[in-house]
Amino acid sequence: MVSIARKNLFEDFPRFMVAQAGIMFAVALVTVQTGLLEGFTKSSSLLIDGVKADLWVASKSMRFFDLTLPLPYSRVATIQQLPEVVRAEPLIIQSGIWQRLSSSDIAPVRVIGFDPKGELFQPWNIQTGSLEDLERPNTAFIDRIDATGLGITAVGQGAALNGQRLLVKGMTVGVRSLVASPYVFMSTENANLYTNLVQIPGQLPLNAAPPLAPDSPISYVLVQVVPGTDLAALKTKLADAIPNSRILTQAEMSKVTQVYWRSSTGVGFILGLGAIVGIVVGTVVVGQILYASVADHLKEYGTLKAMGASDRYLYRVILEQALWMAVLGYLPGLGLAMGLGSWTMQTRAIQILVSPTSAAVIFGVTVAMCSGAAVFAIQKVTRLDPAMVFKS
């Protein structure tokens, strides 16, 4: 059985290569689409997953990470006074308009204000600059991948944010989300100044950003609790202490944001549709190749049936051909998708996430795809009359 399946498979090598190319394309397409969906989902909570907080305190109206109403800065002090709290830090998230100094081009950005001396949130993968630079007025970090689009070619260059001058003092690498505008990292004082004050366009703001006032707007309070604290009980206590608030754990905050982007937008549907198209393409290609292979070897199958071979035996031959095609098409297809994912991650910070579980599932889909295609080819064998072998 093994020799017959292999002989039929490799006898016409050009045809075999065409079939494998079709399967490889289908596997790569399914892998890329599912990997993009997983990478997109993970990317939506990129900044959340980089936070070291145990709890997030947000407005009761918060929908997901980027859409919330402000809290007063005084909430930080209120939370810090609780005995179960080790540290409470503010986090500011605001939209902004970035403008190059050398032209009138503008671009949307996402301003992230945090405490450079804090411990609960810090931008990671800092390529140039240090967090101490952000303690100075009129300074910001951006990501290297976004630098060209924002008109920045080197650290130390200037730009305008909401009509106010600033200097880019450092860059991160790969801190970029598919669902958000380019991140601009600043201290909370600078973020408050640039997003809430109106100044003369083109002019630098104050020499020193004023500290946040008790009523200054912030987006979240990041909370680190004493080890061993009952988070459920503390969430209830915080909800009582902070009216009109929503308290979430780190995992809950990440899930809320991921579910929003995956289910409330059309991205999941589009990427899933692309994966289905890949499966259909692969099934059609494999079905055509197997059907042609069976048609070319009808006399050989007829001879086997005349010699007493059962239909079950012939099914096994054709199914084995399909399995060989699945394995030999899956491996290069997966390699192609992972190579493409490595390139997109390095050049655009777009992650095509292929986990061991998803790789195993895609292999199962590939086997099912090829086996399903074999079913069409098998029908021709079941209707085969062994007497045809003896016809001239």
Cα 167 vs. chain centroid, distance in angstroms? 30
Average pLDDT, integer, range 200-205: 49
Q: CA angle 107-111-117, nearest 5°?
A: 145
Confidence grade of residue 98 (pLDDT, cut at 50, 70, 90)? very high
Partnered with residue 112 across adjacent β-strands are 93, 185
Q: Tell me if 63 sits within 8 A of 265, measured CB to CB.
A: no
Q: What is the pLDDT of residues 156-176, one digit of tens each?
A: 898 999 988 899 999 998 888
Tokens 């020193």 belong to 208
**Does 205 have pLDDT greater than 80?**
no
Q: What is the pLDDT of residues 287-315, one digit of tens each?
A: 677 677 666 666 766 677 677 767 677 77
Beta pairing class for 164-172 and 139-143: parallel
- Rounded Cα–Cα distance for residues 4 and 318 (Å): 9
Q: Tell me if 59 sits within 8 A of 69, measured CB to CB.
A: yes
How does DSSP assign 25-66, residue by residue?
HHHHHHHHHHHHHHHHHHHHTHHHHT---SEEEEETT--BTT
Q: What is the pLDDT of residues 2-42, one digit of tens each?
A: 456 666 666 667 777 877 787 788 788 888 888 888 888 88
First-to-last alpha carbon distance for the chain, in angstroms, is 27
pLDDT value, residue 372:
75
**Does 357 have pLDDT greater than 70?**
yes
What are the residue ranges of helices labelled H in the chain?
2-10, 13-44, 46-49, 74-80, 144-147, 188-196, 231-241, 250-263, 267-296, 298-306, 311-348, 356-382
Average pLDDT, integer, range 144-161: 90
pLDDT value, residue 20:
77
pLDDT value, residue 38:
82
**Does 358 have pLDDT greater than 50?**
yes
Beta pairing class for 106-114 and 183-187: parallel
Q: What is the pLDDT of residues 367-385, one digit of tens each?
A: 887 777 777 767 666 665 6
Q: From residue 273, how far is each of 8, 270, 277, 330 by CA, in Å? A: 34, 5, 6, 20
Q: What is the pLDDT of residues 38-59, one digit of tens each?
A: 888 888 888 999 899 999 999 9
Radius of gyration (C-alpha) of the chain in whole angstroms: 30
The domain segmentation of the chain, as residue ranges, is 2-44+266-390, 61-243
Count how many residues are written for the chain.
Answer: 392
